[in-house]
Structure 1
Amino acid sequence: MIGIRSAALALLLTLAVAAAATPGARAEGPRPDWEFSTDQAFDSASIPAYAGRHDAVYARIDADLDAHLAHLQRWVRQRSISAQDDGIREMAELVAGDLRDLGFRDVALVETPGHPGVFGHYDAGAERTLVVYMMYDVQPVEENWRIADPFAGELVEHEIGTVLMARGATNQKGPQRAFLNALDAIIQEHGTLPVNLYVIAEGEEELGSPNFGAVIEPYLDRLRAADGAFFPMNIQEPDGDASLNLGVKGIIYFELESKGGEWGGPAKAEVHGSLKAMVDSPALRLVQAIASMSTPDGNTILVPGYYDAVRAPSDEEQRLVNGLALRADDAAMQKALGVSQWIGGMHGREAIIRNLFDPTLNIDGIWSGYTGEGMKTILPHMATAKIDSRLPPGLEPDEAYRMIREHLDAGGFEDIELSRLSGYPAASTPVDAPLVRAAIGVFNRYGANPRVAPWLAGSAPFYQFTRTLGLPFVFGGLGHGAGAHAPDEYMLIRPAEGVKAAGLAEIEKSYVDLLYALSEASSE
Structure 2
Amino acid sequence: MVGRLVGLSVAALLASTAVPLAAETPDREQIVSIVKEQRDATIEDLREWIALPTIAAEKLNTPAGAEYMKQLALDAGFQQAKIIPTDGVPAVFATLDAGAETTLGLYFMYDVKQFDPSEWDAPPLEGRLVEREGEGLTIVGRGAVNQKGPEMALLAAIKAIQASGKKLPVNLVLVAEGEEEVASTHFDQVVAVPEVRDALAKTVGVFIPSAAQSKDGSANITLGAKGAVEFQLVVGGETSDKYPKTDIHSSNHARIENPAWRLVKALDTLVADDGHTPAIDGWFENVRPLTERQKELIAEGAALNPEEEAKALLGVGRWIDDEPYVTSLERFLSQPTVNIQGLIAGYTGPGGKTVLPGRAEAKLEFRLVPAMTKDEAVSKLKAHLAKRGFDDVQVTVSGGYGPNETDEDSVLIRAQKALFDEKGIPYSIRPRNAGSWPGVIFNGPPLNLPASQFGLSRGGGAHAPNEWFLIESSDPKVNGLDEAIMAYVDYLYVVAEEAAEVSD
- TM-score with structure 1 setting the length: 0.84
Contact residue 429 and residue 454 of structure 1 kept, 8 A: no
Structure 1, residues 206-228: CA drift from partner, whole Å, max 9, x if none? 23222222333331122112101
Matches of 1:445 and 1:490, distance apart in 2: 29
Structure 1, residues 74-112: CA drift from partner, whole Å, max 9, x if none? 433444344444444444333333433443222222223
Residue 137 of structure 1: which of 111, 123, 128 is its match? 111
User: 1:477 corresponds to which residue?
Assistant: 455
User: 1:457 corresponds to which residue?
Assistant: 434
Cα shift at 1:492: 0.8
Structure 1, residues 25-71: CA drift from partner, whole Å, max 9, x if none? xxxxxxxxxxxxxxxxx952534554524323223323433333333
Q: 1:345 to 1:50 in 2, by over 3 A?
A: farther
Give the match's secondary structure for 1:486.
coil
Matches of 2:255 and 2:57, distance apart in 1: 43
Q: Name the amino acid aligned to 2:342.
A: G
Matches of 1:98 and 1:273, distance apart in 2: 55
User: 2:281 corresponds to which residue?
Assistant: 304
User: 1:44 corresponds to which residue?
Assistant: 15
Structure 1, residues 255-296: CA drift from partner, whole Å, max 9, x if none? 222336999954444454445445443322221221122222
Cα RMSD, aligned residues only: 2.6
Matches of 2:98 and 2:82, distance apart in 1: 18
Residue 138 of structure 2: which of 148, 163, 176 is its match? 163
Matches of 2:482 and 2:255, distance apart in 1: 71
Q: How does 1:481-500 map to 2 (within 5 A)?
A: 481-496=459-474, 498=475, 500=477
Q: Name the amino acid aligned to 2:132.
A: H
Q: Name the amino acid aligned to 2:451.
A: F
Q: Name the amino acid aligned to 1:181.
A: A
Matches of 2:182 and 2:103, distance apart in 1: 29
User: 2:378 corresponds to which residue?
Assistant: 401
Q: Name the amino acid aligned to 1:61.
A: V
Residue 77 of structure 2: which of 97, 103, 110 is its match? 103
Contact residue 14 and residue 426 of structure 2 kept, 8 A: no
Cα shift at 1:329: 2.8
Q: How many residues align?
A: 482
Q: 1:95 to 1:263 in 2, by over 3 A?
A: closer
Q: Name the amino acid aligned to 1:112.
A: T
User: 2:162 corresponds to which residue?
Assistant: 187
Matches of 1:442 and 1:278, distance apart in 2: 69
Matches of 1:367 and 1:75, distance apart in 2: 33
User: 1:172 corresponds to which residue?
Assistant: 147
- TM-score with structure 2 setting the length: 0.88
Cα shift at 1:168: 2.1
User: 1:123 corresponds to which residue?
Assistant: 97
User: 1:113 corresponds to which residue?
Assistant: 87
Q: 1:387 to 1:348 in 2, by over 3 A?
A: same
Give the match's secondary structure for 1:172.
helix
1:379 aligns with 2:351: no
Q: Which sections of structure 1, spanning at least 5 residues, go unmatched?
A: 1-15, 17-41
User: 1:61 corresponds to which residue?
Assistant: 35
Contact residue 264 and residue 280 of structure 1 kept, 8 A: no
Residue 338 of structure 1: which of 315, 320, 339 is its match? 315
Moved more, 401-410 or 255-264: 255-264
Q: 1:164 to 1:269 in 2, by over 3 A?
A: closer
Q: Name the amino acid aligned to 1:282.
A: P
Q: 1:417 to 1:68 in 2, by over 3 A?
A: closer
Cα shift at 1:345: 1.3
Q: 1:274 to 1:233 in 2, by over 3 A?
A: same
1:437 aligns with 2:414: yes
Q: Name the amino acid aligned to 1:169.
A: A
User: 1:23 corresponds to which residue?
Assistant: none
Give the match's secondary structure for 1:386.
strand
Higher-Rg member (1/2): 1
Q: Name the amino acid aligned to 1:425.
A: G
Give the match's secondary structure for 1:107.
strand
User: 1:197 corresponds to which residue?
Assistant: 172
Q: How does 1:19-38 map to 2 (within 5 A)?
A: none
Matches of 1:87 and 1:410, distance apart in 2: 42
Moved more, 486-495 or 95-104: 95-104
Q: 1:447 to 1:350 in 2, by over 3 A?
A: same
- What percentage of residue pairs aligned between the two structures are identical? 36
Q: 1:61 to 1:378 in 2, by over 3 A?
A: closer
Residue 421 of structure 1: which of 378, 392, 398 is its match? 398
1:72 aligns with 2:43: no
Q: Name the amino acid aligned to 1:52.
A: E
User: 2:306 corresponds to which residue?
Assistant: 329
Matches of 1:320 and 1:98, distance apart in 2: 38
Matches of 2:448 and 2:426, distance apart in 1: 27
User: 2:502 corresponds to which residue?
Assistant: 523
Q: 1:271 to 1:62 in 2, by over 3 A?
A: closer
Matches of 1:407 and 1:182, distance apart in 2: 50
Q: 1:82 to 1:354 in 2, by over 3 A?
A: same
User: 2:485 corresponds to which residue?
Assistant: 508
Contact residue 382 and residue 395 of structure 2 kept, 8 A: yes
Q: Which sections of structure 2, spanning at least 5 residues, go unmatched?
A: 4-12
User: 1:36 corresponds to which residue?
Assistant: none
Q: 1:189 to 1:356 in 2, by over 3 A?
A: same
